């Protein structure tokens, strides 16, 4: 097959997934047909980072989210052992509806990537869903501001900083940020737009010199893809939902589960609704 035909087919398949409703995209993920990062998918609905922990640690982690609302804006929480969160999607199943998971265990270094949680789910697990910056990106794109990673189907670059989160019980550690670069006039507008989305990390935590928050080289992100930096562009940094992964690594619970960076839970809620106040659990659906 000619390379151009293969490329056209790949683009066509991506476009087909981009047109799916959140519920249909979750079905595609559940069936293993979609495994990529979710930036730009889900028709403008609110996306979420995932953290799953044993019930005995749920209280400490809930307090960690409350103390650190910028990186951990809580939009949903499950009952122990229940894989559903009806307020985020009636058919939603936390065990299957994320396109990539990481399983951490206290007796192992690093993590194990898994496509679903069929083999590891337990009746004492509690799922937390935290707002994601992908949700305000749609507003930036609608304003005509280019986002190269968004347009290229890449993952946003993410960096571990020297900024520390407020600890709660065993949870703590450094803040992780995501970075997008803009021409100066676009940067101002991007800041103003993102500030409206308080359940999607809100306004940036840093603008300009990455060394100011402990980032030595923008071309070497800790997570995500290498950024495309246009001449004269300004780097802008937002609090990132990968931050809880650092807190979980510090806490070393018996078991913990997160999403692969960039592989979010796509909910049925409109991203525009993320303009609600910062840090509260999403109200139950009426």
The domains found in the chain, sorted by start residue, are 21-133+252-275 (3.40.1640.10), 135-239 (3.30.2040.10)
Instruction: Name the range with the highest mean pLDDT among 8-12, 86-90, 124-128, 130-134.
Output: 124-128
- What is the percentage of the chain residues whose pLDDT exceeds 70? 88
Mean pLDDT of 54-64: 98
Question: What whole-number distance in Å separates Cα of residue 174 and Cα of residue 254?
Answer: 21
Lowest mean pLDDT among 93-102, 135-144, 267-276: 267-276
Mean pLDDT of 1-7: 38
pLDDT of 15 above 80: no
How does pLDDT run across 187-213, given as a tens digit for each residue? 999 999 999 888 889 999 999 999 999
Mean pLDDT of 263-275: 82
**The model's pTM:** 0.85
pLDDT of 156 above 90: no
What's the confidence (pLDDT) of residue 236? 96
What's the confidence (pLDDT) of residue 2? 45
How does pLDDT run across 89-104, given as a tens digit for each residue? 989 999 999 999 999 9
Under the banding of pLDDT at 50, 70 and 90, the label for residue 17 is confident
Mean pLDDT of 64-92: 95
Average pLDDT value over all residues in the chain: 87
Under the banding of pLDDT at 50, 70 and 90, the label for residue 152 is low
pLDDT of 168 above 70: yes
pLDDT of 122 above 80: yes
Please classify residue 85 by burial: count the beta carbons closer than 10 Å to its beta carbon, then call 0-12 exposed, 13-18 middle and 19+ buried. Answer: buried
What's the confidence (pLDDT) of residue 14? 61
Under the banding of pLDDT at 50, 70 and 90, the label for residue 220 is very high
pLDDT of 221 above 70: yes
pLDDT of 228 above 60: yes
Q: How many CA atoms lie within 13 A of 249 on its CB side?
A: 12
What's the confidence (pLDDT) of residue 3? 39
Under the banding of pLDDT at 50, 70 and 90, the label for residue 147 is confident
What's the confidence (pLDDT) of residue 151? 66
């Amino acid at each position: 097959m000619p390379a151009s035909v293969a490329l056209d087919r790949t683009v066509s398949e991506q476009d087909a997934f981009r047109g799916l409703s959140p519920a249909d995209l979750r079905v595609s993920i559940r069936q293993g047909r979609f495994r990529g990062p979710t930036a730009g998918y889900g028709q403008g609905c609110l996306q979420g980072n995932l953290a799953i922990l044993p019930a005995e640690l749920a209280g400490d982690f809930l307090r960690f989210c409350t103390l650190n609302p910028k990186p951990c804006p809580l939009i949903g929480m499950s009952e122990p052992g229940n894989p559903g969160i009806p307020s985020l999607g009636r058919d939603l199943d936390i065990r299957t509806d994320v396109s990539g998971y990481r399983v951490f265990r206290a007796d192992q270094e690093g993590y194990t990537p898994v496509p679903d949680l069929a083999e590891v789910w337990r009746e004492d697990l509690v799922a937390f869903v935290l707002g994601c910056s992908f949700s305000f990106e749609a507003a930036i794109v609608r304003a005509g501001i280019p986002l190269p990673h968004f347009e290229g189907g890449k993952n946003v670059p993410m960096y571990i900083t020297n900024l520390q989160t407020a600890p709660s019980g065993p949870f703590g550690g450094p803040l992780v940020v995501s970075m997008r670069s803009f021409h100066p006039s676009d940067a101002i507008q991007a800041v103003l737009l993102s500030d409206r989305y308080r359940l999607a990390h809100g306004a940036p935590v840093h603008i300009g010199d990455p060394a100011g928050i402990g980032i030595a080289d923008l071309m070497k992100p800790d997570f995500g893809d290498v950024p495309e930096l246009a001449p004269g562009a300004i780097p802008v940094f937002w609090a990132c939902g990968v931050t809880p992964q650092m807190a979980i690594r510090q806490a070393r619970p018996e078991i913990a589960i997160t999403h692969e960076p960039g592989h979010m839970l796509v909910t049925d809620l409109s991203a525009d609704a993320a303009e609600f106040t910062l840090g509260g659990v999403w109200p139950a659906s009426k």
